[in-house]
Amino acid sequence: MNGALAGLVILVLGDSHMAARELLITTLHDSLEADGATVHSYGMCGADADVWINPTNVTCGRAERHDKDAPIVDHSGKPTITWSINDLLTKHHPNMVIVELGDALAGYGAPQMAKPWIYDQVHALAGRIAAAGASCAWVGPAWGAANSSYFKSDARVREISDFLSQSAAPCVFIDSTHFSHPGEWPTTDGQHLTVAGYRAWGADIANAVVQLKTQNRLH
């Protein structure tokens, strides 16, 4: 433990990369805790930014984890109401929010990204976080593989990362494509990484957050 994040309460929001054990809800959460933070993590399969603002139902799985407790995972397949960012901000009073969202926004396989749709919901979620007085880091997607049912091409990953870097303010953008080369982290299905990949990605995100905090770039 280096204690760089000591005293901070960090709320982490994510998509399917956070919605099961051994994914970021384990690796990123553990890395942030090792740096001294108290962490509350929530992941919902298929989540874009809007579902954290306007409650709906999720059926493909979700998970939550608090401090040093084990993840609580729900893969029952039963419709479950999504978590509300306002409720989570009120419940946990975080100093910092980390948003890991990108894959569900990118429109893999579609001819073009729906940029106005992406911008509106990203801007709205970032605004809710800023209004609560918390600093914010937005994490973009890692590389995947195009030859799968997710159609996650390198070009679209680069495009959504560039667009999020311009749209996530006042959140600071963390570009996950800088952490590895395309194909360096193997996937299980074209989009989701192996356990080793999630271990590396979680550690890299946490290190980026520590650097941002040390450089006083989180606001």
Residues 81 and 57 sit within 8 Å (Cβ to Cβ): yes
Residue 64 lies in a domain: yes
pLDDT in tens, 52-100: 999 899 888 999 999 999 999 999 898 888 999 999 999 999 999 999 9
Q: Is the dihedral of CA 15, 191, 177, 211 positive or negative?
A: positive
148, part of any domain: yes
Q: Is residue 3 part of a domain?
A: no
Q: What are phi and psi of 74, to 5 degrees?
A: -120, 105
Question: Based on the structure, what is the number of domains in the chain?
Answer: 1
In a domain, 4, yes or no: no
Residue 219: pLDDT band (50, 70, 90) is: low
Q: Which stretches within the chain are classed as H helix?
A: 24-34, 85-92, 115-131, 154-167, 195-214
At CA 45, angle to CA 79 and CA 174, rounded to 5? 150
Structural domain includes residue 219: no
What is the Cα–Cα distance from 143 to 163, expressed in whole angstroms?
16
Cα end-to-end distance, the chain, whole Å? 24
CATH of the domain at 25: 3.40.50.1110
Domain limits for position 57? 9-214
> Residue 65 falls within a domain, yes or no?
yes
Q: Tell me if 141 sits within 8 A of 189, measured CB to CB.
A: no
Kindly state whether residue 143 falls inside one of the protein's structural domains: yes
Cβ atoms of residues 62 and 74 within 8 Å: yes
Residue 51 lies in a domain: yes
- Biggest CA–CA distance in the chain, Å, is 45
Q: Tens digits of per-residue pLDDT, 144-186? A: 998 899 999 999 999 999 999 999 999 999 999 999 999 999 9
In degrees, rounded to 5, the angle at the alpha carbon of residue 99 between the alpha carbons of residues 93 and 104 is 140
pLDDT digits (tens, 9 = 90+) for 9-67: 999 999 999 999 999 999 999 999 999 999 999 999 999 999 999 989 988 899 999 99
Task: Report the distance separating Cα 40 and Cα 32, nearest Å.
Answer: 10
